Amino acid sequence: MKVAIIGSGIVGLSSAYFLSNSAEVVVFERRYPLYGASGRNTGGITTMLGNKELIDLAKRSMKIYDDVQGEVNFNFLFRKDGYLKVAKNDIDMEKLEKEYYLQRSAGLKVREIDPFEIKNMIPGFNPKSVAGGFYGEGGVIFPWPVIWGYEKGCKARGAEIKPQTEVSEIVVENGEVKGLKANGEFFKADFIVNAAGAWSNEISRLAGVSLNNVVIKEEICVLESLKPFINPYILNVSNGVYLSQSARGEVVGGIVGKETNELNTSSSLDFLIRYAKGAVEMVPSLKGLSVLRQWAGVYDCSRDGMPVIGETEVKGFIQANGLGKHGMSIGPAVGELISEMILKGKSLNNFSPNRFQS
């Protein structure tokens, strides 16, 4: 069995990792691993999601991360210091509370936390900046070693990874994929997995398939180092500001992204102004710190906020995209599902692309 995977992010490489023990796998990457969203995020991961299916994927992914870094002998720098969701007002707190009951019913260890307990947890936190929050499972994983480690594991299992190799055509005959063309060369494939993230719409069109995922642009920056004092990953659901601190003391953060019509990764002054205001409001000691680096990334989100995973009307053409901002939290489990679907015929009705057909 020959499987072609388009995209070398967390979903593409996780799929390749699980498939390559039983199939001949080639991963096609138009640029290089880490070029897309998997190399342009802050590494915040959590099981504290707002949907039972997503929670299950995140729980499984946490276990996979632990297993894979041992199997490939590569440290993912996974710090399980917890994940903190805060809100500035009562309306957003009510939304978090609804998530809390869902998360508790799913077996997660989550608890409500008041502003002054947050201040005790994070020295210098401004308790007047939030109405409260919820603290639970999660932390920070370093995206670069994750991708490097998966790449190492895929190659050890026999998968081929082809960077700087852009897919220009997907060959379909009688409603079934036969292979693809990349850099002027034809590659035969029984299955083609579309794990191209923000470029998944483009890849779908090559196969004659409609996807219509939304593209989101998100900006991030790194501030100069302070002695580490921010342990949990913090997400303010009211204004979208999030931040954490690396082991070297750098403060890494951004703002939850907005829909865009352009696939570009340019940075903006507007982002810096909004982020600085939101971050300093929560942690006043960040005021005056220099910005070391600023960047942006793009990712895709399905029309209903759930991943798009499964075979399309074109036999052998598999969608593995639409993960939204949860890519690092659920990507490993999505890769595992893709392998089970291809190798074992497992049904994925909850995430099937066919759910969008009227």
The CATH code for residues 83-134+214-301 is: 3.30.9.10
- The answer, yes or no, to whether residue 329 has pLDDT greater than 80, is yes
Rounded CA-CA distance 337/195 in Å is 13
**Percentage of the chain surpassing pLDDT 90?**
97
Residue 202 is predicted with a pLDDT of 98
Burial (CB count within 10 angstroms: exposed 0-12, middle 13-18, buried 19+), residue 157: middle
- Strand, coil or helix: what is 287? coil
- Strand, coil or helix: what is 343? helix
Task: Assess contact for 254 and 275: CB atoms under 8 A.
Answer: yes
Rounded CA-CA distance 225/342 in Å is 46
Beta strands in 248-354, from DSSP E residues, in sequence order: 251-259, 291-301, 308-311, 317-321
Residue 211 is predicted with a pLDDT of 96
Locate tokens 């793009």: which residue?
298
Rounded CA-CA distance 43/250 in Å is 14
- The answer, yes or no, to whether residue 358 has pLDDT greater than 80, is no
Q: Which residues, including other chains, have CB under 8 Å from residue 3's CB and lie 6 or more apart?
A: 19, 23, 24, 25, 26, 189, 190, 191, 192, 193, 342
pTM (2 decimals)?
0.96
Q: How far apart are the first and last CA of the chain?
A: 33
Q: Which residues, including other chains, have CB under 8 Å from residue 269's CB and lie 6 or more apart?
A: none
Burial (CB count within 10 angstroms: exposed 0-12, middle 13-18, buried 19+), residue 84: buried
Question: CATH 3.30.9.10 region(s) of the chain?
Answer: 83-134+214-301
Residue 140 is predicted with a pLDDT of 97
* CA nearest to 330, candidates 354, 299, 357: 299
Question: CATH 3.50.50.60 region(s) of the chain?
Answer: 2-73+143-212+304-356
The pLDDT confidence band at residue 107, using thresholds 50, 70 and 90, is very high
Q: Which fold has domain 2-73+143-212+304-356?
A: FAD/NAD(P)-binding domain (3.50.50)
Rounded CA-CA distance 306/135 in Å is 23
Q: Which residues, including other chains, have CB under 8 Å from residue 42's CB and lie 6 or more apart?
A: 140, 220, 233, 242, 243, 244, 252, 253, 254
